[in-house]
Amino acid sequence: MKRMIGQRAAASFLALLGLVVLVFFLSRLTGDPAALYLPIDASQEMLENFREIHGLNDPLLVQFGNYVTDLLRLDFGESIRKARPAIDVVLEAFVWTLQLALITMALVTVTAVVLGSLAAFRVGGLFDRLTSLISLVGASAPDFWIAIVAIVLFSVQLGWLPTSGTGSVWHWVLPVAVLFVRPFGLILQVVRGSMISALTSAYVKTARAKGVRNRPIIFVHTLRNAMLPVITVIGDQAAAMLNGAVIVETIFGFPGVGKLMIDSILQRDFNVILASIVVTALAIFIMNLLIDMAYAVLDPRIRY
């Protein structure tokens, strides 16, 4: 287990380093922040002073070296737009995204596992056909289209739910519901397929021959052995949310890290962009490590 963790950490560090290099140089292509934050009639001296204060006067390679040196000291620099440490700005937004992802994935996992298991128990039945249709539609529908339709229907036409903000529980309903649809469809399909394979195995036939009832067969004997591919898909979908539900957060004005990254790119807030990438990448690394450990718990052979 320790060797696996060490290998994962080394691979993730290299990936993170490559990501920092890529994002650092690409973000500079968005333009000069001085031209965005200072008045149009700003003098050349004002422009030079602004660049000097934010370390933008040095050659690009020197800027990158300085940034990496600061990063090794866990100094992410200062946000140009908010004049605050960039890491503080990012962590505040990341907490919102983390809450949104945890609530959505908890609902998705429980619902998809239960419905997928029940659908697999009677393949070809009415319930199986209905859940398969719902899951296929959900997995195929794009998030932005679902979000727009939901706003038009539930906010504009019916007036039931607010369109943006986080002031109450009702503000969370539409973002969670929109993010729920796609991973629910994907995970439900994987649970169904994995459970169908597991239900035809020898140990299930033995349990039935001994007179074990259907519910223990599904949720005790079969589900654990069918969970390995399901955990993989759950991890992928959770990573997609942690990576910033950019479209959903932007449409609903949700103050998460996805919306923060879009705003920071438009406002050329380089330090916030890079801090968002680093924090999100570390969160995904930790989550993938937990998934690998879950594999080892479900199947002891993986430990070796």
**What six digits make up the tokens of 22?**
């890529």
Q: Does some domain include residue 215?
A: yes
- Per residue of the chain (304 residues), give pLDDT as tens: 667 667 777 777 788 888 888 888 888 887 778 777 877 777 788 878 888 887 778 788 888 888 888 888 888 888 888 888 889 999 998 888 888 888 998 999 899 888 888 887 777 788 888 888 888 888 888 888 888 888 898 888 888 888 887 778 888 888 999 989 888 988 888 888 888 777 777 666 666 666 666 666 666 667 667 777 788 888 888 877 776 577 888 888 888 888 888 888 888 888 898 898 888 888 888 887 777 777 766 666 655 5
In a domain, 39, yes or no: no
Q: 8: how many CB neighbours lie within 10 A of its CB?
A: 15
Which residue range is the domain that position 140 belongs to? 86-303
User: For residue 251, what is the domain's CATH number?
Assistant: 1.10.3720.10
Phi-psi region of 26 (alpha: psi -120 to 50; beta: other; left: phi over 0): alpha
Measured distance CA(141)–CA(129) in Å, rounded: 18
Residue 61 lies inside a defined structural domain of this protein:
no
Structure tokens at 187: 């995970």
φ/ψ of 85, rounded to 5, equals -55, 130
295 inside domain: yes
Quote the number of domains for the chain. 1
Asked, for residue 198, whether it belongs to a domain, the answer is yes
121 belongs to a structural domain: yes
